[in-house]
Amino acid sequence: MRSLRSGSHPLAALSEREYQPYSDFLLHDMGAAADGIAEGGAAPREMRTAPLWGLHRVGSPRLWHDGRAKTLEAAVLLHDGQGAAARAAFAELAPEARGQLLAFLATL
């Protein structure tokens, strides 16, 4: 999910603002790519969607909840469970389109 809208806040700059976190901040079943730990209301296979906003600031990536993905490409290819279809679609992209997507992610 690209855009979200903030709720009401006393600071006008934060109130009712459209922003682009590129996340839904929801828990998703990530299958074998999850940590297997039940935490609060999250089941062992559920992980919260990381915001992609800010990826341009990641110098030497340690992505995923445990830093196991060393590149953006590796992170996308880790998706399992509810993210498996996105992983498969990415894997099927032609090299040029794949490069364009990775270049876009690096601008967020």
- Alpha-helical (H) ranges within 1-108 are 72-78, 84-92, 95-105
Query: Which parts of 39-68 interact with ligand HEM (CB under 6 A)?
Result: 47, 49-50, 52, 63-65
Count Cβ atoms within 10 A of the Cβ of residue 39 and give its class: 0-12 exposed, 13-18 middle, 19 or more buried: exposed
The distance of closest approach from Cβ of residue 81 to ligand HEM in the complex, given in angstroms and rounded to an integer, is 8
Which residue number, 9 or 44, has a Cβ lying nearer to ligand HEM? 44
Residue appearing with tokens 């876009």: 104
The distance of closest approach from Cβ of residue 8 to ligand HEM in the complex, given in angstroms and rounded to an integer, is 28
Which residue number, 6 or 25, has a Cβ lying nearer to ligand HEM? 25
The distance of closest approach from Cβ of residue 102 to ligand HEM in the complex, given in angstroms and rounded to an integer, is 9
- Using DSSP bridges, classify how beta strands 46-48 and 18-19 pair: parallel, antiparallel or unpaired: unpaired
The window from 2-10, 11-19, 36-44, 81-89 that contacts ligand HEM (CB under 6 A) reads 81-89
Residues 49 and 63: their CA atoms lie apart, in Å, by 12
Reported residue count of the chain is 108
Binding site for ligand HEM (CB under 6 A): 28, 30, 47, 49-50, 52, 63-65, 72, 75-76, 79, 82-83, 86, 90, 105
